[in-house]
Chains A and B, each alone.
Chain A
Protein backbone atom coordinates (compact mmCIF):
# COMPACT_ATOMS: atom_id res chain seq x y z
CA UNK A 1 0.00 0.00 0.00
CA UNK A 2 1.47 3.29 -1.00
CA UNK A 3 1.01 5.56 1.97
CA UNK A 4 2.04 8.63 -0.06
CA UNK A 5 -1.14 8.66 -2.11
CA UNK A 6 -3.21 8.41 1.08
CA UNK A 7 -1.15 11.12 2.76
CA UNK A 8 -1.70 13.31 -0.32
CA UNK A 9 -5.43 12.61 -0.20
CA UNK A 10 -5.48 13.46 3.51
CA UNK A 11 -3.63 16.72 2.87
CA UNK A 12 -6.06 17.66 0.08
CA UNK A 13 -8.97 17.08 2.45
CA UNK A 14 -7.28 18.81 5.37
CA UNK A 15 -7.66 15.55 7.33
CA UNK A 16 -5.38 13.76 9.76
CA UNK A 17 -3.99 10.44 8.51
CA UNK A 18 -2.81 7.91 11.09
CA UNK A 19 -1.50 4.37 10.82
CA UNK A 20 -3.09 1.72 13.02
CA UNK A 21 -2.53 -2.05 13.23
CA UNK A 22 -4.17 -3.06 9.98
CA UNK A 23 -5.74 0.21 8.86
CA UNK A 24 -4.73 3.60 7.59
CA UNK A 25 -7.22 5.95 9.22
CA UNK A 26 -8.33 9.19 7.58
CA UNK A 27 -10.31 11.29 10.07
CA UNK A 28 -12.64 13.87 8.55
CA UNK A 29 -15.57 16.01 9.71
CA UNK A 30 -19.02 14.69 8.65
CA UNK A 31 -19.31 17.31 5.91
CA UNK A 32 -16.28 15.84 4.10
CA UNK A 33 -17.18 12.13 4.25
CA UNK A 34 -18.54 11.96 0.69
CA UNK A 35 -15.48 13.70 -0.70
CA UNK A 36 -13.11 11.48 1.33
CA UNK A 37 -14.88 8.25 0.28
CA UNK A 38 -14.88 9.35 -3.35
CA UNK A 39 -11.16 10.08 -3.08
CA UNK A 40 -10.30 6.76 -1.43
CA UNK A 41 -12.43 4.62 -3.73
CA UNK A 42 -10.92 6.19 -6.84
CA UNK A 43 -7.40 5.10 -5.82
CA UNK A 44 -6.20 1.99 -7.68
CA UNK A 45 -7.58 -1.24 -6.18
CA UNK A 46 -9.50 0.50 -3.40
CA UNK A 47 -12.98 0.36 -4.96
CA UNK A 48 -14.12 -2.33 -2.52
CA UNK A 49 -16.12 -0.97 0.42
CA UNK A 50 -16.05 -3.78 3.00
CA UNK A 51 -18.67 -2.21 5.22
CA UNK A 52 -19.52 0.76 7.45
CA UNK A 53 -19.30 0.37 11.22
CA UNK A 54 -21.22 2.56 13.65
CA UNK A 55 -19.88 2.82 17.21
CA UNK A 56 -21.72 4.47 20.08
CA UNK A 57 -19.11 6.55 21.94
CA UNK A 58 -21.47 8.00 24.56
CA UNK A 59 -22.13 11.54 23.37
CA UNK A 60 -21.18 10.88 19.78
CA UNK A 61 -21.50 8.15 17.21
CA UNK A 62 -18.40 7.22 15.25
CA UNK A 63 -18.79 6.04 11.67
CA UNK A 64 -15.99 4.00 10.13
CA UNK A 65 -15.98 3.36 6.37
CA UNK A 66 -13.73 0.36 5.68
CA UNK A 67 -12.07 0.05 2.28
CA UNK A 68 -9.74 -2.85 1.58
CA UNK A 69 -6.74 -3.43 -0.64
CA UNK A 70 -4.12 -6.15 -0.27
CA UNK A 71 -2.95 -6.44 3.34
CA UNK A 72 -4.31 -3.12 4.59
CA UNK A 73 -7.63 -1.46 5.23
CA UNK A 74 -8.23 2.22 4.63
CA UNK A 75 -10.68 3.63 7.10
CA UNK A 76 -12.50 6.92 6.64
CA UNK A 77 -13.58 7.94 10.11
CA UNK A 78 -15.98 10.60 11.30
CA UNK A 79 -18.11 11.34 14.34
CA UNK A 80 -21.61 12.80 14.50
CA UNK A 81 -23.17 14.15 17.71
CA UNK A 82 -25.92 11.98 19.16
CA UNK A 83 -28.09 15.07 19.57
CA UNK A 84 -28.20 15.61 15.77
CA UNK A 85 -27.00 12.41 14.10
CA UNK A 86 -27.27 13.34 10.42
CA UNK A 87 -24.89 13.37 7.51
CA UNK A 88 -24.81 13.01 3.75
CA UNK A 89 -25.16 9.50 2.31
CA UNK A 90 -22.27 8.18 0.23
CA UNK A 91 -24.62 5.92 -1.76
CA UNK A 92 -24.55 8.40 -4.66
CA UNK A 93 -20.82 7.79 -5.01
CA UNK A 94 -20.73 4.17 -3.82
CA UNK A 95 -24.03 2.31 -4.34
CA UNK A 96 -22.61 -0.57 -2.28
CA UNK A 97 -23.16 1.58 0.82
CA UNK A 98 -26.97 1.60 0.56
CA UNK A 99 -27.62 -1.37 2.83
CA UNK A 100 -24.77 -0.62 5.23
CA UNK A 101 -26.12 2.88 5.83
CA UNK A 102 -29.65 1.56 6.17
CA UNK A 103 -28.45 -0.89 8.83
CA UNK A 104 -26.79 1.90 10.84
CA UNK A 105 -29.89 4.03 10.46
CA UNK A 106 -31.98 1.25 12.01
CA UNK A 107 -29.61 0.19 14.76
CA UNK A 108 -28.01 3.48 15.80
CA UNK A 109 -30.47 6.08 14.54
CA UNK A 110 -28.10 7.95 12.23
CA UNK A 111 -29.84 9.69 9.32
CA UNK A 112 -28.18 9.47 5.88
CA UNK A 113 -29.50 12.14 3.55
CA UNK A 114 -29.94 10.77 0.04
CA UNK A 115 -30.04 7.08 0.96
CA UNK A 116 -33.04 5.31 -0.66
CA UNK A 117 -33.90 3.74 2.71
CA UNK A 118 -34.03 7.16 4.47
CA UNK A 119 -37.09 7.14 6.71
CA UNK A 120 -37.79 3.45 5.97
CA UNK A 121 -36.74 0.32 7.76
CA UNK A 122 -34.41 -2.42 6.55
CA UNK A 123 -33.87 -4.58 9.63
CA UNK A 124 -36.12 -3.47 12.45
CA UNK A 125 -39.72 -4.65 12.64
CA UNK A 126 -42.33 -2.09 11.65
CA UNK A 127 -43.70 -2.39 15.17
CA UNK A 128 -40.48 -1.11 16.76
CA UNK A 129 -41.63 1.63 19.16
CA UNK A 130 -40.87 5.04 17.61
CA UNK A 131 -40.15 6.60 21.02
CA UNK A 132 -37.65 3.89 22.05
CA UNK A 133 -33.96 4.55 21.37
CA UNK A 134 -32.40 2.60 18.47
CA UNK A 135 -31.42 -0.85 19.82
CA UNK A 136 -27.65 -0.63 19.50
CA UNK A 137 -27.36 2.64 21.41
CA UNK A 138 -25.99 2.40 24.92
CA UNK A 139 -29.09 3.92 26.47
CA UNK A 140 -31.35 1.31 24.87
CA UNK A 141 -32.54 -1.21 27.42
CA UNK A 142 -33.43 -4.48 25.65
CA UNK A 143 -35.73 -5.55 28.49
CA UNK A 144 -37.70 -2.32 28.33
CA UNK A 145 -38.05 -2.45 24.55
CA UNK A 146 -39.21 -6.05 24.74
CA UNK A 147 -41.86 -5.06 27.29
CA UNK A 148 -43.10 -2.23 25.08
CA UNK A 149 -43.35 -4.58 22.13
CA UNK A 150 -45.33 -7.02 24.29
CA UNK A 151 -43.11 -9.91 23.44
CA UNK A 152 -43.14 -11.08 27.02
Chain B
Protein backbone atom coordinates (compact mmCIF):
# COMPACT_ATOMS: atom_id res chain seq x y z
CA UNK B 1 0.00 0.00 0.00
CA UNK B 2 1.54 3.30 -1.06
CA UNK B 3 0.35 5.12 1.97
CA UNK B 4 2.08 6.63 4.93
CA UNK B 5 0.03 8.02 7.80
CA UNK B 6 2.70 10.52 8.76
CA UNK B 7 2.50 14.07 7.49
CA UNK B 8 -0.77 13.67 5.68
CA UNK B 9 -3.02 15.67 7.96
CA UNK B 10 -4.07 18.33 5.53
CA UNK B 11 -5.89 20.76 7.80
CA UNK B 12 -5.26 23.09 10.72
CA UNK B 13 -7.32 24.12 13.72
CA UNK B 14 -11.02 23.58 13.39
CA UNK B 15 -13.39 26.49 13.13
CA UNK B 16 -15.67 26.63 16.15
CA UNK B 17 -18.76 27.33 14.05
CA UNK B 18 -18.53 23.90 12.42
CA UNK B 19 -20.31 20.92 13.91
CA UNK B 20 -18.15 18.83 16.21
CA UNK B 21 -15.10 17.84 14.23
CA UNK B 22 -13.63 14.40 14.23
CA UNK B 23 -11.22 13.26 11.60
CA UNK B 24 -11.42 9.94 9.82
CA UNK B 25 -8.76 9.09 7.30
CA UNK B 26 -10.39 6.76 4.82
CA UNK B 27 -8.23 4.45 2.75
CA UNK B 28 -10.06 3.55 -0.45
CA UNK B 29 -9.75 1.11 -3.30
CA UNK B 30 -11.89 2.78 -5.92
CA UNK B 31 -15.22 3.22 -4.15
CA UNK B 32 -14.55 0.64 -1.45
CA UNK B 33 -13.31 1.58 2.00
CA UNK B 34 -10.48 -0.69 3.06
CA UNK B 35 -9.28 1.06 6.20
CA UNK B 36 -10.37 3.85 8.50
CA UNK B 37 -8.01 5.68 10.84
CA UNK B 38 -9.66 7.99 13.39
CA UNK B 39 -7.89 11.04 14.79
CA UNK B 40 -9.80 12.98 17.42
CA UNK B 41 -9.23 15.83 19.82
CA UNK B 42 -10.04 18.89 17.74
CA UNK B 43 -12.45 20.07 20.40
CA UNK B 44 -10.58 18.58 23.35
CA UNK B 45 -10.89 21.23 26.04
CA UNK B 46 -8.93 19.63 28.87
CA UNK B 47 -12.00 19.39 31.08
CA UNK B 48 -10.52 16.61 33.23
CA UNK B 49 -7.59 18.87 34.06
CA UNK B 50 -9.85 21.88 34.63
CA UNK B 51 -11.95 19.82 37.05
CA UNK B 52 -8.92 19.33 39.29
CA UNK B 53 -8.80 23.08 39.87
CA UNK B 54 -12.51 23.65 40.57
CA UNK B 55 -14.62 22.89 43.61
CA UNK B 56 -16.83 19.82 43.76
CA UNK B 57 -19.99 21.84 43.17
CA UNK B 58 -18.63 23.94 40.32
CA UNK B 59 -17.65 20.74 38.55
CA UNK B 60 -21.31 19.70 38.22
CA UNK B 61 -21.80 22.59 35.81
CA UNK B 62 -18.46 22.01 34.11
CA UNK B 63 -19.15 18.34 33.32
CA UNK B 64 -22.63 19.17 32.14
CA UNK B 65 -21.00 21.20 29.39
CA UNK B 66 -19.16 18.22 27.90
CA UNK B 67 -22.25 17.48 25.85
CA UNK B 68 -25.15 19.63 24.76
CA UNK B 69 -27.41 16.68 24.05
CA UNK B 70 -26.98 14.42 27.05
CA UNK B 71 -25.92 17.15 29.49
CA UNK B 72 -28.09 15.86 32.34
CA UNK B 73 -26.56 12.40 32.10
CA UNK B 74 -23.08 13.88 32.58
CA UNK B 75 -24.09 15.77 35.69
CA UNK B 76 -26.07 12.74 36.89
CA UNK B 77 -23.14 10.36 36.55
CA UNK B 78 -20.80 12.80 38.27
CA UNK B 79 -23.14 13.67 41.15
CA UNK B 80 -24.16 10.06 41.81
CA UNK B 81 -20.52 8.99 41.59
CA UNK B 82 -19.50 11.60 44.15
CA UNK B 83 -22.57 10.89 46.32
CA UNK B 84 -21.45 7.27 46.62
CA UNK B 85 -18.43 8.56 48.59
CA UNK B 86 -20.70 10.04 51.28
CA UNK B 87 -22.30 7.91 53.97
CA UNK B 88 -25.69 9.59 53.32
CA UNK B 89 -28.78 8.62 51.34
CA UNK B 90 -30.40 10.64 48.57
CA UNK B 91 -34.17 11.13 49.13
CA UNK B 92 -36.40 8.75 47.16
CA UNK B 93 -38.31 11.57 45.48
CA UNK B 94 -35.08 13.02 44.07
CA UNK B 95 -34.20 9.64 42.55
CA UNK B 96 -37.55 9.50 40.76
CA UNK B 97 -37.20 13.07 39.50
CA UNK B 98 -33.80 12.11 38.10
CA UNK B 99 -35.40 9.25 36.18
CA UNK B 100 -38.03 11.58 34.72
CA UNK B 101 -35.49 14.12 33.48
CA UNK B 102 -33.05 11.45 32.25
CA UNK B 103 -35.73 9.65 30.23
CA UNK B 104 -37.02 12.89 28.73
CA UNK B 105 -33.45 13.57 27.68
CA UNK B 106 -33.22 10.12 26.08
CA UNK B 107 -36.40 10.79 24.10
CA UNK B 108 -35.15 14.12 22.73
CA UNK B 109 -31.69 12.72 22.00
CA UNK B 110 -33.06 9.75 20.05
CA UNK B 111 -35.44 11.99 18.13
CA UNK B 112 -32.59 14.34 17.29
CA UNK B 113 -30.57 11.41 15.97
CA UNK B 114 -33.45 10.02 13.93
CA UNK B 115 -33.90 13.40 12.28
CA UNK B 116 -30.19 13.57 11.47
CA UNK B 117 -30.22 10.16 9.79
CA UNK B 118 -33.11 11.43 7.69
CA UNK B 119 -31.07 14.49 6.73
CA UNK B 120 -27.92 12.57 5.78
CA UNK B 121 -29.92 10.01 3.84
CA UNK B 122 -31.54 12.78 1.80
CA UNK B 123 -34.98 12.64 3.49
CA UNK B 124 -35.19 16.16 4.88
CA UNK B 125 -38.95 16.06 5.45
CA UNK B 126 -38.38 13.47 8.16
CA UNK B 127 -35.70 15.68 9.69
CA UNK B 128 -38.05 18.66 9.92
CA UNK B 129 -41.01 16.68 11.25
CA UNK B 130 -38.97 15.03 13.96
CA UNK B 131 -37.17 18.15 15.09
CA UNK B 132 -40.54 19.86 15.40
CA UNK B 133 -41.79 17.00 17.58
CA UNK B 134 -38.62 17.16 19.64
CA UNK B 135 -39.51 20.73 20.64
CA UNK B 136 -42.38 19.34 22.71
CA UNK B 137 -39.89 17.39 24.84
CA UNK B 138 -37.53 20.35 25.17
CA UNK B 139 -40.45 22.50 26.35
CA UNK B 140 -41.21 19.94 29.06
CA UNK B 141 -37.58 19.92 30.13
CA UNK B 142 -37.57 23.69 30.31
CA UNK B 143 -40.67 23.67 32.45
CA UNK B 144 -39.21 21.11 34.86
CA UNK B 145 -35.60 22.24 35.09
CA UNK B 146 -35.68 25.84 33.87
CA UNK B 147 -33.45 25.18 30.85
CA UNK B 148 -33.71 23.40 27.53
CA UNK B 149 -30.14 22.28 26.99
CA UNK B 150 -27.75 22.78 29.92
CA UNK B 151 -30.25 22.08 32.61
CA UNK B 152 -28.10 22.86 35.68
CA UNK B 153 -30.56 20.70 37.57
CA UNK B 154 -28.32 18.26 39.42
CA UNK B 155 -27.09 18.87 42.92
CA UNK B 156 -25.35 16.71 45.51
CA UNK B 157 -28.13 15.09 47.51
CA UNK B 158 -30.90 15.46 44.96
CA UNK B 159 -32.03 18.02 42.41
CA UNK B 160 -32.05 21.80 42.53
CA UNK B 161 -35.81 22.27 42.71
CA UNK B 162 -39.00 20.29 43.00
CA UNK B 163 -41.31 19.47 40.09
CA UNK B 164 -43.70 22.33 39.30
CA UNK B 165 -47.37 21.90 40.24
CA UNK B 166 -49.54 20.12 37.72
CA UNK B 167 -46.59 19.01 35.59
CA UNK B 168 -47.61 15.33 35.64
CA UNK B 169 -50.77 16.01 33.67
CA UNK B 170 -48.94 18.13 31.14
CA UNK B 171 -46.19 15.53 30.69
CA UNK B 172 -48.79 12.83 30.10
CA UNK B 173 -50.53 14.90 27.46
CA UNK B 174 -47.30 15.70 25.61
CA UNK B 175 -46.03 12.12 25.82
CA UNK B 176 -49.33 10.95 24.34
CA UNK B 177 -48.50 13.08 21.32
CA UNK B 178 -44.85 11.87 21.17
CA UNK B 179 -45.97 8.26 21.42
CA UNK B 180 -48.37 8.69 18.53
CA UNK B 181 -45.68 10.29 16.40
CA UNK B 182 -43.08 7.65 17.34
CA UNK B 183 -45.44 4.87 16.32
CA UNK B 184 -45.99 6.59 13.00
CA UNK B 185 -42.22 6.96 12.45
CA UNK B 186 -41.73 3.30 13.37
CA UNK B 187 -43.89 2.28 10.41
CA UNK B 188 -42.41 4.96 8.19
CA UNK B 189 -38.75 4.05 8.61
CA UNK B 190 -39.52 0.45 7.70
CA UNK B 191 -41.58 1.19 4.63
CA UNK B 192 -40.09 4.36 3.15
CA UNK B 193 -37.91 3.56 0.15
CA UNK B 194 -35.29 6.31 0.57
CA UNK B 195 -34.46 5.11 4.06
CA UNK B 196 -34.60 1.40 3.20
CA UNK B 197 -32.16 1.78 0.31
CA UNK B 198 -29.73 3.79 2.41
CA UNK B 199 -29.88 1.81 5.66
CA UNK B 200 -30.71 -1.89 5.07
CA UNK B 201 -27.59 -4.00 5.34
CA UNK B 202 -25.49 -0.84 5.71
CA UNK B 203 -22.98 -0.59 8.55
CA UNK B 204 -23.54 -4.16 9.66
CA UNK B 205 -21.75 -5.39 12.78
CA UNK B 206 -21.74 -8.87 14.20
CA UNK B 207 -21.99 -9.98 17.80
CA UNK B 208 -18.39 -11.15 17.67
CA UNK B 209 -17.20 -7.71 16.61
CA UNK B 210 -19.28 -6.18 19.38
CA UNK B 211 -17.72 -8.46 21.99
CA UNK B 212 -14.24 -7.70 20.66
CA UNK B 213 -14.57 -3.90 20.46
CA UNK B 214 -16.82 -3.21 23.48
CA UNK B 215 -19.26 -0.73 21.94
CA UNK B 216 -22.05 0.56 24.18
CA UNK B 217 -25.69 1.53 24.00
CA UNK B 218 -27.91 1.00 20.95
CA UNK B 219 -24.89 0.05 18.83
CA UNK B 220 -24.33 -2.95 21.12
CA UNK B 221 -28.00 -3.78 21.53
CA UNK B 222 -28.64 -3.84 17.78
CA UNK B 223 -26.41 -6.93 17.60
CA UNK B 224 -28.72 -8.77 20.00
CA UNK B 225 -26.66 -8.26 23.18
CA UNK B 226 -29.13 -6.82 25.68
CA UNK B 227 -26.82 -4.86 27.96
CA UNK B 228 -28.15 -1.70 29.54
CA UNK B 229 -26.69 -0.08 32.67
CA UNK B 230 -30.18 0.94 33.82
CA UNK B 231 -31.25 -2.70 33.98
CA UNK B 232 -27.99 -4.39 34.92
CA UNK B 233 -26.59 -1.92 37.44
CA UNK B 234 -29.56 0.30 38.43
CA UNK B 235 -28.87 3.84 39.62
CA UNK B 236 -31.30 6.66 40.57
CA UNK B 237 -34.72 4.91 40.82
CA UNK B 238 -34.16 2.40 38.02
CA UNK B 239 -34.53 -0.51 40.43
CA UNK B 240 -38.18 0.57 40.79
CA UNK B 241 -38.86 1.90 37.30
CA UNK B 242 -37.45 -0.96 35.28
CA UNK B 243 -36.61 -0.53 31.58
CA UNK B 244 -37.61 -3.14 29.01
CA UNK B 245 -34.22 -3.53 27.36
CA UNK B 246 -34.73 -3.33 23.61
CA UNK B 247 -32.61 -5.46 21.32
CA UNK B 248 -32.52 -6.25 17.65
CA UNK B 249 -30.61 -8.79 15.66
CA UNK B 250 -30.19 -6.90 12.39
CA UNK B 251 -26.92 -5.22 13.37
CA UNK B 252 -27.32 -2.59 10.63
CA UNK B 253 -28.47 1.03 10.48
CA UNK B 254 -32.03 -0.03 9.56
CA UNK B 255 -32.34 -2.02 12.77
CA UNK B 256 -30.83 0.87 14.76
CA UNK B 257 -33.65 3.08 13.49
CA UNK B 258 -36.34 0.75 14.79
CA UNK B 259 -34.43 0.02 18.00
CA UNK B 260 -34.10 3.68 18.92
CA UNK B 261 -37.79 4.35 18.23
CA UNK B 262 -38.65 1.40 20.47
CA UNK B 263 -36.46 2.95 23.16
CA UNK B 264 -38.34 6.25 22.78
CA UNK B 265 -41.62 4.41 23.31
CA UNK B 266 -40.23 2.60 26.35
CA UNK B 267 -38.89 5.87 27.79
CA UNK B 268 -42.38 7.40 27.45
CA UNK B 269 -43.73 4.55 29.53
CA UNK B 270 -40.95 4.95 32.12
CA UNK B 271 -41.54 8.70 32.55
CA UNK B 272 -45.23 8.06 33.17
CA UNK B 273 -44.47 5.22 35.56
CA UNK B 274 -41.94 7.32 37.49
CA UNK B 275 -44.46 10.16 37.84
CA UNK B 276 -47.08 7.71 39.07
CA UNK B 277 -44.86 5.96 41.61
CA UNK B 278 -43.09 9.13 42.78
CA UNK B 279 -43.26 9.44 46.55
CA UNK B 280 -43.81 12.73 48.38
CA UNK B 281 -41.02 14.10 50.52
CA UNK B 282 -37.93 16.25 50.17
CA UNK B 283 -36.31 16.65 46.74
CA UNK B 284 -32.86 17.30 48.16
CA UNK B 285 -30.81 16.31 51.18
CA UNK B 286 -28.07 18.49 52.56
CA UNK B 287 -24.64 17.11 51.64
CA UNK B 288 -21.37 18.68 52.86
CA UNK B 289 -19.59 20.63 50.13
CA UNK B 290 -16.37 18.61 50.37
CA UNK B 291 -16.49 14.96 49.39
CA UNK B 292 -14.87 12.44 51.76
CA UNK B 293 -11.62 10.82 50.63
CA UNK B 294 -11.99 7.76 48.46
CA UNK B 295 -12.40 6.49 44.92
CA UNK B 296 -15.63 6.02 43.05
CA UNK B 297 -16.23 4.14 39.81
CA UNK B 298 -19.62 4.95 38.38
CA UNK B 299 -21.59 4.71 35.19
CA UNK B 300 -25.02 5.54 33.81
CA UNK B 301 -26.83 4.66 30.59
CA UNK B 302 -26.75 7.87 28.56
CA UNK B 303 -28.78 7.95 25.31
CA UNK B 304 -25.68 6.79 23.42
CA UNK B 305 -24.70 4.11 25.92
CA UNK B 306 -22.60 3.59 29.02
CA UNK B 307 -21.20 6.89 30.30
CA UNK B 308 -18.35 6.23 32.70
CA UNK B 309 -17.02 8.45 35.53
CA UNK B 310 -14.10 7.73 37.83
CA UNK B 311 -13.71 10.15 40.74
CA UNK B 312 -10.80 10.26 43.19
CA UNK B 313 -11.09 12.43 46.27
CA UNK B 314 -8.30 13.21 48.68
CA UNK B 315 -10.72 14.90 51.06
CA UNK B 316 -9.83 18.36 49.74
CA UNK B 317 -11.98 21.11 48.26
CA UNK B 318 -11.29 19.92 44.70
CA UNK B 319 -11.19 16.41 43.19
CA UNK B 320 -7.77 14.82 42.73
CA UNK B 321 -8.82 13.18 39.49
CA UNK B 322 -11.98 12.79 37.45
CA UNK B 323 -11.94 10.55 34.41
CA UNK B 324 -14.77 10.67 31.90
CA UNK B 325 -15.32 8.13 29.16
CA UNK B 326 -18.11 9.15 26.84
CA UNK B 327 -20.09 6.60 24.80
CA UNK B 328 -18.82 7.98 21.48
CA UNK B 329 -15.24 7.19 22.52
CA UNK B 330 -16.27 3.57 23.17
CA UNK B 331 -18.14 3.37 19.86
CA UNK B 332 -15.48 4.95 17.66
CA UNK B 333 -13.60 1.75 16.86
CA UNK B 334 -16.83 -0.07 16.08
CA UNK B 335 -17.80 2.73 13.70
CA UNK B 336 -14.54 2.23 11.80
CA UNK B 337 -15.40 -1.47 11.50
CA UNK B 338 -18.90 -0.60 10.28
CA UNK B 339 -17.42 1.45 7.45
CA UNK B 340 -15.01 -1.17 6.21
CA UNK B 341 -16.17 -2.80 2.96
CA UNK B 342 -18.77 -0.11 2.28
CA UNK B 343 -18.60 2.61 -0.33
CA UNK B 344 -17.75 6.26 0.12
CA UNK B 345 -21.44 7.08 -0.42
CA UNK B 346 -22.35 5.25 2.80
CA UNK B 347 -19.99 7.25 5.02
CA UNK B 348 -22.44 9.97 6.14
CA UNK B 349 -25.20 7.53 7.07
CA UNK B 350 -22.90 5.06 8.84
CA UNK B 351 -21.06 7.70 10.85
CA UNK B 352 -24.36 9.31 11.84
CA UNK B 353 -25.68 5.83 12.56
CA UNK B 354 -23.29 5.41 15.46
CA UNK B 355 -24.80 8.65 16.82
CA UNK B 356 -21.70 10.65 17.51
CA UNK B 357 -22.46 13.77 19.51
CA UNK B 358 -23.23 15.30 16.07
CA UNK B 359 -22.52 14.52 12.44
CA UNK B 360 -18.76 14.22 12.51
CA UNK B 361 -18.18 14.51 8.81
CA UNK B 362 -17.30 18.11 8.34
CA UNK B 363 -13.84 17.13 7.35
CA UNK B 364 -12.98 13.77 5.88
CA UNK B 365 -9.73 13.11 4.10
CA UNK B 366 -9.98 10.64 1.26
CA UNK B 367 -7.03 8.59 0.08
CA UNK B 368 -7.41 6.60 -3.12
CA UNK B 369 -5.06 3.62 -2.99
CA UNK B 370 -5.10 2.98 -6.73
CA UNK B 371 -4.25 6.53 -7.68
CA UNK B 372 -2.17 7.30 -4.55
CA UNK B 373 -4.02 10.55 -4.35
CA UNK B 374 -5.40 12.45 -1.41
CA UNK B 375 -8.06 15.11 -1.17
CA UNK B 376 -10.51 16.49 1.35
CA UNK B 377 -14.26 16.79 1.08
CA UNK B 378 -16.68 18.62 3.34
CA UNK B 379 -19.63 16.95 5.02
CA UNK B 380 -22.10 18.69 2.73
CA UNK B 381 -20.26 17.51 -0.41
CA UNK B 382 -20.20 13.99 0.93
CA UNK B 383 -23.93 14.13 1.72
CA UNK B 384 -24.78 15.23 -1.83
CA UNK B 385 -22.45 12.59 -3.21
CA UNK B 386 -24.22 9.85 -1.21
CA UNK B 387 -27.65 11.00 -2.39
CA UNK B 388 -26.54 11.21 -6.06
CA UNK B 389 -24.83 7.83 -5.86
CA UNK B 390 -27.96 6.08 -4.67
CA UNK B 391 -30.19 8.01 -7.06
CA UNK B 392 -28.04 6.71 -9.92
CA UNK B 393 -28.29 3.16 -8.65
CA UNK B 394 -32.04 3.22 -8.35
CA UNK B 395 -32.86 4.62 -11.80
A residues touching B (Cβ–Cβ < 8 Å)?
A: 20-23, 47-51, 53-56, 64, 66, 68, 70-71, 73, 75, 94-96, 98-100, 103, 106-107, 120-126, 135-136, 142
- B214→A48 contact, CB < 8 A: yes
Knowing A70-B233, A136-B49, say if A51 contacts B325 (CB, 8 Å).
yes
Q: List 17 A-B contacts (CB under 8 A).
A: A20-B295, A21-B297, A22-B84, A50-B308, A50-B325, A51-B325, A51-B330, A53-B323, A96-B333, A98-B333, A99-B332, A100-B329, A120-B5, A122-B38, A123-B40, A124-B41, A142-B46
B residues touching A (Cβ–Cβ < 8 Å)?
A: 5, 9, 13, 38-41, 44, 46, 48-49, 84, 211-214, 227, 232-233, 294-299, 306, 308, 310, 312, 320-321, 323, 325, 329-330, 332-333
Looking across the interface, which residue of chain A has its beta carbon closest to that of B324? A51
A106–B40 CA distance with the chains assembled, in angstroms: 12
Residue in contact with A21 in the complex, picked from B227, B233, B294, B329, CB distance below 8 Å:
B294
Q: Chain A residues with Cβ under 8 A from B321's Cβ?
A: 53, 55-56
Knowing A21-B84, A98-B333, say if A50 contacts B306 (CB, 8 Å).
yes
Knowing A53-B323, A55-B321, A70-B232, say if A48 contacts B295 (CB, 8 Å).
no
- B299→A50 contact, CB < 8 A: yes
A100–B213 CA distance with the chains assembled, in angstroms: 12
Looking across the interface, which residue of chain A has its beta carbon closest to that of B49? A136
| A123 CB to nearest B CB, Å | 3
Residue in contact with B297 in the complex, picked from A75, A96, A122, CB distance below 8 Å:
A75
Q: Chain B residues with Cβ under 8 A from A73's Cβ?
A: 297
Knowing A51-B330, A96-B333, say if A66 contacts B49 (CB, 8 Å).
no
A45–B323 CA distance with the chains assembled, in angstroms: 24
Q: Lowest 8 CB-CB distances: which A-B pairs, in order? A: A123-B41, A96-B214, A51-B325, A53-B323, A53-B310, A71-B233, A73-B297, A55-B321
Given A50-B214, A55-B312, A94-B212, 15 other A-B residues pairs in contact with their CB atoms under 8 A: A21-B297, A47-B211, A48-B227, A53-B323, A55-B323, A68-B233, A70-B232, A70-B233, A98-B333, A107-B48, A122-B41, A123-B41, A124-B41, A125-B41, A126-B9
Residue in contact with A135 in the complex, picked from B46, B323, B332, CB distance below 8 Å:
B46
Q: Chain A residues with Cβ under 8 A from B332's Cβ?
A: 99
| A79 CB to nearest B CB, Å | 14
- B48→A136 contact, CB < 8 A: yes
| B293 CB to nearest A CB, Å | 12
Q: Chain B residues with Cβ under 8 A from A103's Cβ?
A: 329
Q: Chain B residues with Cβ under 8 A from A70's Cβ?
A: 232-233
Q: Chain B residues with Cβ under 8 A from A21's Cβ?
A: 84, 294-297
A136–B51 CA distance with the chains assembled, in angstroms: 11
A122–B84 CA distance with the chains assembled, in angstroms: 33
Residue in contact with B49 in the complex, picked from A51, A95, A142, CB distance below 8 Å:
A142
Looking across the interface, which residue of chain B has its beta carbon closest to that of A140? B49
Knowing A51-B323, A123-B41, A126-B9, say if A22 contacts B297 (CB, 8 Å).
yes
A51–B331 CA distance with the chains assembled, in angstroms: 12
A23–B299 CA distance with the chains assembled, in angstroms: 12
A54–B298 CA distance with the chains assembled, in angstroms: 16
A67–B53 CA distance with the chains assembled, in angstroms: 29
Q: Chain B residues with Cβ under 8 A from A123's Cβ?
A: 40-41, 44
| A81 CB to nearest B CB, Å | 18
Q: Chain B residues with Cβ under 8 A from A23's Cβ?
A: 297
Looking across the interface, which residue of chain A has its beta carbon closest to that of B234? A71
Looking across the interface, which residue of chain B has its beta carbon closest to that of A97? B214
Knowing A48-B227, A68-B299, say if A95 contacts B233 (CB, 8 Å).
no
Q: Chain A residues with Cβ under 8 A from B46's Cβ?
A: 135, 142
| B332 CB to nearest A CB, Å | 6
A106–B325 CA distance with the chains assembled, in angstroms: 15
| A6 CB to nearest B CB, Å | 15
Residue in contact with B214 in the complex, picked from A49, A54, A120, CB distance below 8 Å:
A49
| B230 CB to nearest A CB, Å | 12
A121–B227 CA distance with the chains assembled, in angstroms: 32
| B93 CB to nearest A CB, Å | 23
Q: Chain A residues with Cβ under 8 A from B48's Cβ?
A: 107, 136
A68–B325 CA distance with the chains assembled, in angstroms: 14
Q: Chain A residues with Cβ under 8 A from B333's Cβ?
A: 95-96, 98-99
| A67 CB to nearest B CB, Å | 10
A98–B182 CA distance with the chains assembled, in angstroms: 37
Residue in contact with A99 in the complex, picked from B13, B299, B329, CB distance below 8 Å:
B329
Q: Chain A residues with Cβ under 8 A from B308's Cβ?
A: 50-51, 66
